[in-house]
Chain A
Amino acid sequence: MQEAMIKRAKELLADGSVDRVIGWKRGEFAYDITPAVFTTAEELDRDFVCDDFTAANVSKYLVKETQKEGKILAFLKPCDTYSFNQLVKEHRIDREKVYVIGIEGGPKLDIEKIKAKGITGILSVKNEDYTLKIETIYGTQTMPFYEAILGKCASCKSKKHVVFDELIGEDGDVLDSNRFEMVEKLENMTAQERFDFWRDQLSKCIRCNACRNVCPACTCENCVFDNPKSGIDNKAPADSFEENMFHIIRAFHVAGRCTDCGECSRVCPQHIPLHLLNRKFIKDINELYGEYQAGADTTSRAPLNTYDKNDCEPSVVHERGVE
């Protein structure tokens, strides 16, 4: 697929349809991939990559990119198209300035899961018939492909591109992913157990802000968490309260707009399952206000931007019982 993408990108650059291309390039290691903008055929040939590690969602970069002159080509996986659509809907991306090529989705790999097997000194990772051949400085190792896929890909919600100008490869369907399983499990615990679970998780947060910075729903020019007057703009949380505050408020701010793209959990260096917070909101919204998938379209009103006169009362929460 990489070849076809580079070829198409070069054509579009050459005929002047676009003057930039956003995709991915390698970092220091083969698995260390970063989103990048390309402007020439030479750069594309030299650096452009699309492989099992190009999981990063490039939609958010288009907020800044479409503020510039000219048109940009973006390669979007199915999940990325939801984020893209949502940003178009929120008037954050200028749709006219982007040429979208839909590409096949994952599953993409999680290098941490490979390292967790004790495999170190990794030089390259190849997928051969769903067995990973991992070249390391200590020799070749293998592991099953599906044991190393990203959490977000393991609960993929859709292989369908909700927006594109052209496709490379096939379009798929919306999937039934069972993604609320863990949320349900937590819901069925006691309050004390849930509290302990989250304390355990959130206390790991180092407030690097990566989750916010990567999140396509977090595009505020001035984030509350950067406001010195908010009292929570400092780096490392000084108290458990700050950990709770940051995560509750961030999740709340993206409620109804979060497409469940999974980027926040993917980038968290502390492996905090942030998606559980977002999915709790998604699940509640689905159950209380009707099924809603952010980013599926650009016209519907976000659940928190609207209401129904017959909405339930907050007492639905209290009716769950005292504890």
Chain B
Amino acid sequence: MQVNENFEPVIVAFCCNWCSYAGADLSGTNRLNYPTNVKIIRVPCSCRVNPMFILRAFQKGADGVIICGCHPGDCHYTSGNYFTRRRITLLYSMLDFLGIERNRTRLEWVSAAEGAKFAATMQQFTEDVKALGPNRRLEDLRCRKQ
């Protein structure tokens, strides 16, 4: 695949309200940089993320999707992220089975105190997706821009 140096991926980050969204906020108040490619969607809990949301994000133009939630054991709703973990593992594995590039998906646990981790995670993920180039295998041609 030809690597386009100017390619700026669209990254959709689903962040749970209680930890990761606060983590993102902290990274902002600490003036840590994370790529502007990242579009955050706040969800009440990581387990709110229905597999359809993830596919939908790819359909509408995302090149990578990352889910962030509280660390296992710390979910505001006690066990939500344990369910997330199973579901998302299986879903990502299925996407892999269909030949969708593995590095377009990710899950990371980020607490409200981990502003630096949030920024670093987004930095790394954006780099990884950039290396892959635009999402072509799970896109909807009708939604392609230009």
Q: Is B82 part of the contact surface with A, judged by Cβ < 8 Å?
A: yes
CA gap between A230 and B102 in the complex, in Å: 26
CA gap between A23 and B142 in the complex, in Å: 46
Q: Is B38 part of the contact surface with A, judged by Cβ < 8 Å?
A: no
Report whether B55 and A313 are in contact in the complex, using a CB–CB cutoff of 8 Å. Answer: no
Q: Shortest beta-carbon distance, A20 to chain B, in Å? A: 38
Q: Mark B46-88, 1 if CB is under 8 A from A, else 0.
A: 0000011001001100000000000011000001001101111
- Say whether chain B's binding surface is mostly helix, strand, loop, or mixed: helix
CA gap between A303 and B85 in the complex, in Å: 12
Q: Shortest beta-carbon distance, B76 to chain A, in Å? A: 16
Q: Is B41 part of the contact surface with A, judged by Cβ < 8 Å?
A: no
Query: Chain A residues near B52 (CB, 8 Å)?
Result: 224, 230, 245, 249
Report whether A314 and B85 are in contact in the complex, using a CB–CB cutoff of 8 Å. Answer: yes
What is the size category of the interface that chain A forms with chain B? 35 or more
CA gap between A142 and B137 in the complex, in Å: 45
Report whether A317 and B92 are in contact in the complex, using a CB–CB cutoff of 8 Å. Answer: yes
Q: Shortest beta-carbon distance, B144 to chain A, in Å? A: 10
CA gap between A304 and B84 in the complex, in Å: 9
Q: Is A255 part of the contact surface with B, judged by Cβ < 8 Å?
A: yes
CA gap between A191 and B58 in the complex, in Å: 18
Report whether A197 and B99 are in contact in the complex, using a CB–CB cutoff of 8 Å. Answer: yes
Which single residue of chain A is at the shortest CB-CB distance from B142?
Answer: A239
Report whether B89 and A192 are in contact in the complex, using a CB–CB cutoff of 8 Å. Answer: no
- Say whether chain A's binding surface is mostly helix, strand, loop, or mixed: helix
CA gap between A277 and B93 in the complex, in Å: 11
Segment with Cβ contacts to B, from A10-18, A81-89, A150-158, A280-288: A280-288
A317 touching B98 in the complex, CB below 8 Å, given contacts A289-B86, A311-B82:
no
Q: Shortest beta-carbon distance, A294 to chain B, in Å? A: 14
Report whether B73 and A309 are in contact in the complex, using a CB–CB cutoff of 8 Å. Answer: yes
Q: Shortest beta-carbon distance, A115 to chain B, in Å? A: 30
Q: Is B107 part of the contact surface with A, judged by Cβ < 8 Å?
A: yes
Report whether A241 and B86 are in contact in the complex, using a CB–CB cutoff of 8 Å. Answer: no
Q: Is A195 part of the contact surface with B, judged by Cβ < 8 Å?
A: yes
Q: Is B40 part of the contact surface with A, judged by Cβ < 8 Å?
A: no
Report whether B82 and A248 are in contact in the complex, using a CB–CB cutoff of 8 Å. Answer: no
Q: Mark B89-120, 1 if CB is under 8 A from A, else 0.
A: 11111111111111101110000000000000
Report whether A241 and B51 are in contact in the complex, using a CB–CB cutoff of 8 Å. Answer: no
Report whether B82 and A307 are in contact in the complex, using a CB–CB cutoff of 8 Å. Answer: yes
Interface residues of A (CB under 8 A from B): 183, 186-187, 191-199, 224, 230, 238-242, 244-245, 248-249, 251-252, 255, 277, 280-281, 284-285, 288-289, 303-304, 307-309, 311-318, 320-323
For the A-B complex with A191-B101, A309-B73 known, give 9 more contacts whose Cβ atoms are closer than 8 Å.
A187-B97, A244-B98, A245-B59, A248-B51, A248-B55, A248-B94, A252-B90, A281-B90, A322-B102
